[in-house]
Amino acid sequence: MKKKIVYLILVLALTLSFSACNRDEEELPVADVDEQQDKVEQDANKPGEEPEDIYYVLYLRHRNLPFIFENTFRIRENDSRLKNKSIEHFVVEQLIEQEDVDELINPIPDGTKVLYVEREGSTVIVNLSEEFIRNMRGDAEFVEIVVATIVNSLVILPGNEKVRILVDGHSIANLRGADISTDFEFIVQFTTDK
Q: What does residue 144 show for φ and ψ, rounded to 5 degrees?
A: -60, -35
Residue 13: per-residue pLDDT: 46
Average pLDDT for the chain: 83
For the chain, the structural domain boundaries read: 2-47, 53-167
This prediction has a pTM of 0.74
How many helices and strands in the chain, by DSSP H and E?
A: 4, 6
Q: Residue 143's CB: how many other CB atoms inside 10 A? A: 24
Percent of the chain with pLDDT over 90: 72
CA angle 38, 39, 45 (to 5 degrees): 90
Residue 43: per-residue pLDDT: 45
Residue 123: per-residue pLDDT: 98
Over the stretch 135-146, which tens digit does the pLDDT of each residue have?
A: 999 999 999 999
Over the stretch 116-175, which tens digit does the pLDDT of each residue have?
A: 999 999 999 999 999 999 999 999 999 999 999 999 999 999 999 999 999 999 999 999
Measured between alpha carbons, how far is 115 from 170 in angstroms, rounded to an integer?
12
When comparing pLDDT for 190 and 7, which is higher? 190
